[in-house]
């Protein structure tokens, strides 16, 4: 369904980087959910570029609700979030003769799909900026999940060859991460990662990393064997986020190198709750949640925009050319992508639960 995703809760995204607005429509929200405007702002801030490790471009990311909110609560009808685009240096896109296809970007594929009618300015509909609408949408549902005891946290598991420590106490670690702009659990690793990004910037280059996400408090019995497995739904959502090229669950690719006896998660009775001793399956068996934390790792590629000169072709003539990308761009986006991954995950989890338990599952009290 293209730009609409979800069964019981669906999200529709629209907008281009340099158009009037970007935005999202959430359809299927329960009525009476509290809208926490401050939390939405905080989440949007986490996505914003800041400090030395990010692009200089700073935007306000103002937002408003066009519909679906009344007296500070969801109405149950479609909620449309609008985020105006304010920084548009039109001079940047002035008198070009012929545009080159930026390597690693969607310029060429957009051309093949949209035949040159695409609004290419700033990446258009492919811009990372569109994820602001996704973050705002996620911030609408995250408090409702929390009310049901479900919390979501993402940290930078690795950046280049620097690794963060593993989650130790999910509840606590998620709480800690929720207050961090640069979401790393180990302070030492954090410093190294920041230094690495600064070093990368100095080299006019960019760098990628791995995000690890945990969904904690998920009830068992949610998801489908075919084709809406929890992995299918989450990866479908996550792979829409620009720059994500790998998604794995539990031990993921490590499972592929090992033995059943090592990786099977033995069940045991923990004072009446059935749990598993290990969690190599990442909380999912046969596509359905088993009540253990859902563990997801997402590979974020290095930002394709780099200052270094690159070989490429011109979009109209197809002629070979050289390109040195000017303007503002990030040496790394992984610390900003983290809140996008959190948000997409939250939207998927909400959808899975509403599909299972009905549209009133997240309903507020009157």
Distances (CA, A) of 340 to 239, 274, 343, 349: 12, 32, 5, 14
- How near is the Cβ of 332 to its own copies at its closest, in Å? 9
Give the up-direction half-sphere exposure of residue 319: CA atoms within 13 A in the CB hemisphere: 5
Of 365, 364, 360, 306, give the one whose Cα is nearest residue 332.
Answer: 306
Nearer to its own copies, 19 or 178 (CB): 19
- How near is the Cβ of 104 to its own copies at its closest, in Å? 4
- Told to check if 119 binds its own copies by CB under 8 A, we report yes
CA atoms of 150 and 112, how far apart (whole Å): 42
Distances (CA, A) of 222 to 70, 171, 358: 31, 21, 12
Asked whether 243 and 300 are in contact (CB, 8 A), the reply is: yes
- Name which of residues 211 to 250 contact its own copies (CB under 8 A): 220-229, 231-233, 235-237, 239-240, 242, 244-250
- Told to check if 130 binds its own copies by CB under 8 A, we report yes
Among 51, 171, 286, 327, indicate the residue that binds its own copies (CB under 8 A): 286
Give the up-direction half-sphere exposure of residue 91: CA atoms within 13 A in the CB hemisphere: 1
Nearer to its own copies, 91 or 273 (CB): 273
Tell me the two tokens of residue 43.
Answer: 């989440």
- How near is the Cβ of 318 to its own copies at its closest, in Å? 5
Using CB under 8 A, which of the segments 19-27, 45-53, 136-144, 181-189 binds its own copies?
19-27
Distances (CA, A) of 209 to 4, 57, 289, 342: 28, 22, 27, 16
Nearer to its own copies, 188 or 264 (CB): 264
- Name which of residues 94 to 113 contact its own copies (CB under 8 A): 101, 103-106, 108-110, 112-113
- Name which of residues 290 to 319 contact its own copies (CB under 8 A): 290-291, 297, 299-306, 308, 310-313, 318-319
CA atoms of 185 and 313, how far apart (whole Å): 42
- Name which of residues 33 to 52 contact its own copies (CB under 8 A): none
Among 63, 65, 182, 362, indicate the residue that binds its own copies (CB under 8 A): 65
Nearer to its own copies, 58 or 274 (CB): 274
């Amino acid at each position: 369904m293209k730009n609409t995703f979800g069964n019981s809760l669906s999200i529709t995204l629209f907008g281009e980087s340099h158009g009037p607005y970007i935005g999202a429509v959430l359809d299927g929200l329960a009525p009476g959910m509290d809208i926490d405007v401050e939390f939405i702002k905080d989440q949007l801030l986490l996505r914003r570029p800041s400090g030395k490790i990010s692009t200089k471009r700073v935007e306000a990311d103002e937002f408003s609700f066009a519909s679906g909110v009344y007296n500070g609560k969801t109405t149950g009808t479609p909620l449309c979030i609008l985020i105006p685009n304010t920084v548009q240096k039109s001079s940047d896109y002035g008198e070009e003769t012929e545009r080159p296809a930026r390597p690693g970007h969607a310029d060429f594929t957009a051309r093949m799909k949209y035949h040159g009618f695409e609004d290419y300015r700033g990446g258009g509909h492919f811009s990372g900026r569109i994820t602001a609408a996704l973050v705002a949408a996620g911030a609408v549902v995250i408090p409702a999940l929390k009310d049901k005891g479900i919390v979501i946290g993402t940290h930078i598991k690795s950046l280049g060859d620097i690794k963060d420590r593993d989650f130790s106490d999910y509840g606590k670690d998620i709480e800690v991460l929720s207050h961090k702009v640069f979401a790393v659990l180990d302070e030492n690793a954090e410093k190294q990662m920041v230094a690495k990004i600064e070093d990368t910037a100095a080299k006019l280059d960019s760098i990628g990393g791995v995000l690890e996400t945990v969904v904690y408090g998920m009830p068992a019995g949610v998801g489908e064997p075919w084709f809406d497995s929890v992995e299918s739904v989450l990866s479908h959502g996550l792979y829409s986020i620009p720059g994500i090229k790998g998604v794995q669950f539990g031990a993921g690719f490590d499972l592929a190198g090992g033995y059943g006896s090592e990786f099977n998660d033995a069940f045991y009775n923990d004072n009446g709750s059935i749990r598993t001793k290990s969690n190599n399956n990442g909380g999912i068996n046969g596509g359905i949640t088993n009540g253990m934390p859902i563990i997801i790792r997402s590979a974020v590629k290095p930002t394709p925009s780099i200052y270094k000169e690159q070989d490429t072709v011109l979009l109209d003539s197809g002629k070979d050319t050289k390109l040195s990308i000017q303007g503002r761009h990030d040496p790394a986006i992984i610390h900003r992508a983290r809140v996008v991954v959190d948000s997409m995950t939250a939207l998927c989890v909400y959808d899975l639960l509403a599909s299972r338990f009905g549209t009133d599952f997240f309903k507020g009290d009157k």
